[in-house]
Structure 1
Amino acid sequence: MTKYVALLRGVNVGGHRRVPMADLRRTLTDSGYTEVRTLLQSGNVVFEAAEQPTADLVAAIEVLLAAEFGFAVDVMVRSGAELRAMVAANPLEVREPAKFAVAFLSPAADVGVLAGIDPDDYAPDELRVGERELYMYFPDGLGKARLTPILARKLRDTTTVRNWNTVTKLLAMVE
């Protein structure tokens, strides 16, 4: 069995698209996933399954969630090994974990659209492109970030963001 992390995009934000974590755990467990645990209320799930391509897990979980909750939920999945490698590959210094974030990219994300963005357009925020993620630092906090609106326009609905504290807690759960 392999440990995986599923990251749900845009659930439980402002009382909309409610996905109770107990119901999420039950839905995944009833579908054959094991050792299902959640972190926070924002749709972070660690589970075990037979080793398989993460794209297959994404498709299966998205179908399950739509059937259970009545709306589409975008899901990004990383194996424990992929999450570990992503943390190790971080190219930026983590000065303040609460102001440091990772945008997990779906397979549909085209990071090529970021090539034309001038770093001065979003300074003092910092951005580095990883393999299937974006590493970001917001020295003035996420609420004052200049980078996130730019990314939202360029990448559309192909990312879900977690702060570094959450990323490292998820990594500890898969270890």
Structure 2
Amino acid sequence: MNTYIALLRGINVGGKNKLPMKELKALLTKHGLHDIQTYIQSGNVVFSCEHFDLDMGKLIEAEFGFCPDVMMLTKDQLLTSIKNCPFTADEGKQLHYYFCKTQPQISKQALTEILDEIKKPSESYQLINDVFYLYAPEGIGRSKLAERVEKKLKVSCTARNQNTILQLQLMLKEKQ
């Protein structure tokens, strides 16, 4: 069995796109996924299967009436994103991983020019492959960069803070 992580974008936010995790687990079980674990209500799912070939967004749409973007990661992809993280944070809510649907097609120079204009002096960022890392010590809610990064990268992304990433890593270890 292979282990995968599904990161659902934009669910259970502000009363929109409501998706109870218990019902999601039942739906995924019905479609052949195993050892399903969810973490908090923002759409973090760890599961096992032989080979993943479902369109989870379409499956959710058929059952719940909306189609969220779903960023699918293998166990190795998540662990690599943790290993590649260029920042350390004392508080897990200061550091965010933006998982991109596809590799952003923007040069490092162009990205720097665009993002340096909107970031706060205290903020740092780095794009490594298809993960954008943002360190925002003053909080993500106050960050203009956090608000605009997806538009500037020109790809769909979903962000998770360091606390969530470490919890997903722990969930993966429990599956071993």
Fold conserved between structures, TM > 0.5: yes
- Aligned Cα RMSD in Å? 1.8
Q: Give distance in 2, aligned partners of 1:131 and 1:108.
A: 6
Give the fraction of aligned pairs with identical amino acids, expressed as a percent: 34
Pairing of 1:58-137 with structure 2 (within 5 A): 60-107=55-102, 109-112=104-107, 114-123=111-120, 124-137=122-135
- SS of match in other structure, 1:96: coil
How far residue 109 of structure 1 moved from its aligned partner, in angstroms, is 4.3
* Change in CA separation of 1:132 and 1:23 when aligned onto 2, cut-off 3 Å: same
Are the aligned partners of 1:104 and 1:161 in contact in 2 as well (CA < 8 Å)? Answer: yes
Indicate the residue corresponding to 1:19 in structure 2.
Answer: 19
How far residue 121 of structure 1 moved from its aligned partner, in angstroms, is 2.8
How far residue 115 of structure 1 moved from its aligned partner, in angstroms, is 4.7
Q: Give distance in 2, aligned partners of 1:104 and 1:7.
A: 9
Q: Give distance in 2, aligned partners of 1:126 and 1:49.
A: 37
Residue among 138, 149, 153 paired with 2:151? 153
How far residue 92 of structure 1 moved from its aligned partner, in angstroms, is 1.6
Are the aligned partners of 1:125 and 1:146 in contact in 2 as well (CA < 8 Å)? Answer: no
Q: TM-score, normalised by structure 1?
A: 0.89
Task: Deviation per CA, 1:88-140: give whole Å up to 9, x if none.
Answer: 11112223211111001102744446353252530222110012111111111
Indicate the residue corresponding to 1:48 in structure 2.
Answer: 48
- SS of match in other structure, 1:23: helix
How far residue 148 of structure 1 moved from its aligned partner, in angstroms, is 1.4
- SS of match in other structure, 2:138: coil
Indicate the residue corresponding to 2:32 in structure 1.
Answer: 32
Tell me, which stretches of 5 or more residues in structure 2 are unaligned? none
* Change in CA separation of 1:111 and 1:8 when aligned onto 2, cut-off 3 Å: farther
Are the aligned partners of 1:109 and 1:159 in contact in 2 as well (CA < 8 Å)? Answer: no
Q: Give distance in 2, aligned partners of 1:7 and 1:109.
A: 18
- Pairs aligned (count): 170
Q: Give distance in 1, aligned partners of 2:152 and 2:38.
A: 30
Indicate the residue corresponding to 1:166 in structure 2.
Answer: 164
- SS of match in other structure, 1:150: helix
